[in-house]
Structures are given as structure tokens and as C-alpha cells.
Amino acid sequence: MEVILKKDIEHLGFIDDIVNVKAGYARNYLIPNKLAIFASVSEKKILQENLKQREQKNQKIIEDLESVKNKIETLDLKISSKVGEDKKLFGSVTSATLESVLKKHEIVVEKKYIIMDGSSIIKNTGDFSATIRLHRGLTAKLSFKVIAE
């Protein structure tokens, strides 16, 4: 069954994508929760017109986000944390931790758009990386170190 997404859904698609899903998933979850609508012929025509109008606006947004991407990729980020035996952290470093650290560097990114490479939780010191989704087709690679306090 084809549906048009009305919100970003992880591992499925972005707003205004036309995706094929199982009928039960669409009828019982996506459509009742207003995450998607049925992709009828008229809805597809309306969507195409809206996408044409939105494309010019998106180009401007992407140009502005390129500077943010460069800032993220050139950032020398060190996260200090209390460490116990064998360089294991008391607590952990997560995407929420990265969100707060980036906010201190005047970069605002929601934690749901930060994907830790390797695992979602870091419990050791060392060099790590994360992928940050800034826009639909624009991602930035963040390299950071977790060091002992």
C-alpha cells in the first residue's frame, strides 16, 4: 500500500516521501496516528505541486547548513568524563551528551539526528565518531575524543 509520509519516520522515510508499506501497518498505525495519508492520485498531484514550490526554499536552507556542516567537521571536540579502572567511564556518552556539548559550541542539533558510529552508548575512553543529519540529503561527520577528567 502506498502512503505519503507526513512526519519523518526513522528507517522508513522523510516528510512527503511516497513509500510502500504493508496495508495493516498503514491502516492500524501510520494513518490513525497522522504519520501518513493514503497516496491517492489527487494527493500525489497535490504533493508534486507542493514539492516544486518547496524546492527553491530547500536550496537556500542547504546553502546555510553547509557552513554548519563545515563547522561540525572541523570541530576539535573533547568530552571529559570521570574514569574508573581500565579506562571505563562512570556513566556513558550518548547522543544526548553530544547534543549538549554541541549546544555549548553554538550548534543546535536534536539528539534524534545524531547517530553514533559503532554503538549508541560509549563506555570507554578513546576516539569516536558520529554522523549528524542536518537536512534530508545533508549529513556531517563528527569526530570526537572521550578523555579522563
Assign 14 to helix, strand or coil. coil
Statement: residue 119 has pLDDT above 80: no
Query: Residue 1 — very low, low, confident or very high, per pLDDT cuts 50/70/90?
Result: very high
Partners of 10 in the β-ladder: none
The amino acid present at 123, given as its one-letter code, is K
Q: Is the Cα torsion angle 86, 91, 96, 97 positive or negative in sign?
A: negative
Answer for the pair 35, 9: CB distance below 8 angstroms, yes or no.
yes
- Of 81, 65, 68, 75, nearest to 143 by C-alpha is 75
Summarised one tens digit per residue, pLDDT across range 6-19 is: 998 888 988 889 99
Q: What is the pLDDT of residue 42?
A: 94
Q: What is the pLDDT of residue 23?
A: 94
Distance of alpha carbon 105 from alpha carbon 78, whole angstroms:
12
Answer for the pair 60, 73: CB distance below 8 angstroms, yes or no.
no
Domains of the chain: residue spans and CATH: 2-64 (3.40.5.10), 65-148 (3.10.430.100)
SS3 letters across 90-113: EEEECHHHHHHHHHHCCCCCCHHH
Distance of alpha carbon 75 from alpha carbon 66, whole angstroms:
14
Q: How far does CA 80 lie from the centroid of its chain? A: 24
Distance of alpha carbon 72 from alpha carbon 102, whole angstroms:
9
pTM, rounded to two decimals = 0.67
Q: What is the pLDDT of residue 43?
A: 93
The three grid cell numbers given for residue 25, joined into one nine-digit string: 501497518
